[in-house]
Amino acid sequence: MNWGLIDRYAKSLIKEAGHKIRVSFFNNIDIDSKSDANDLVTNIDREVEQFFISRIKRDFPDHKILGEEGFGDDVQSLDGVIWILDPIDGTMNFIHQKRNFAISLGIYAEGVGMLGYIYDVMGNDFYHAAKDEGAYFNDERLPQLEVTALSEAVIGVNASWVAPNRYMDHEGIIQLVQACRGTRSYGSAAMELAYVSSGRLDAYMSMRLSPWDIAGGMIIAQEVGAIATNMKGETPHLLGQDTFIVARPGLHETMLKDHIRLK
Ligand code: 2AM
Ligand code: CA
Ligand code: CA
Ligand code: CA
| Domain layout of the chain by residue ranges | 3-141, 150-259
CA distances from 23 to 19, 28, 96, 122 (A): 6, 11, 16, 11
Res. 213 pLDDT band, cuts 50 70 90: very high
Predicted local confidence at residue 75, as pLDDT: 98
Predicted local confidence at residue 244, as pLDDT: 98
Predicted local confidence at residue 186, as pLDDT: 98
Q: Helix, strand or coil for residue 112? A: strand
Do the annotations mark residue 88 as ligand-binding? yes
Predicted local confidence at residue 193, as pLDDT: 99
Residue 60 Cα to ligand 1 middle (Å): 28
Express each pLDDT in 219-235 by its tens digit. Answer: 999 999 999 999 999 99
The β-bridge relationship of strands 140-141 and 135-137 is antiparallel
Q: Which of 213, 241, 245 to mutate to test the pocket of ligand 1 (most atoms within 8 A of CB)?
A: 213
HSE, side-chain direction, 13 A CA sphere, residue 240: 2
Express each pLDDT in 48-83 by its tens digit. Answer: 999 999 999 999 999 999 999 999 999 999 999 999
Residue 229 Cα to ligand 4 middle (Å): 21
Strands of the 182-184 sheet, one edge to the other: 182-184, 154-157, 203-209, 242-247, 227-229
Mean pLDDT of 91-103: 98
The architecture of the domain spanning 150-259 is 3-Layer(aba) Sandwich (3.40)
Express each pLDDT in 130-145 by its tens digit. Answer: 999 999 999 999 999 9
Pick the CATH number of 3-141 from 3.30.540.10, 1.10.540.10, 3.40.50.300, 3.20.20.70: 3.30.540.10
Question: Is the Cβ–Cβ distance between 154 and 183 less than 8 Å?
Answer: yes
Closest residue by Cα to residue 92 from 25, 161, 33: 33
Q: Is the pTM for the entire model greater than 0.95?
A: yes
Predicted local confidence at residue 40, as pLDDT: 98
* Average pLDDT value for the chain: 98
Query: DSSP E strands: which ranges in the chain?
Result: 31-33, 40-42, 64-67, 81-89, 102-109, 112-120, 125-130, 135-137, 140-141, 154-157, 182-184, 203-209, 227-229, 242-247
ipTM: 0.97
Predicted local confidence at residue 29, as pLDDT: 97
Predicted local confidence at residue 254, as pLDDT: 98
Predicted local confidence at residue 175, as pLDDT: 97
Res. 146 pLDDT band, cuts 50 70 90: very high
Predicted local confidence at residue 198, as pLDDT: 98
Report the pocket of ligand 1 as residue ranges, CB < 6 Å: 35, 39, 68, 86, 89-91, 158, 187-189, 208-210, 213
Predicted local confidence at residue 113, as pLDDT: 98
Question: Percent of the chain scored above 90 by pLDDT?
Answer: 100
Q: Look up residue 25 and give its amino acid.
A: F
CA distances from 113 to 3, 116, 169 (A): 12, 7, 32
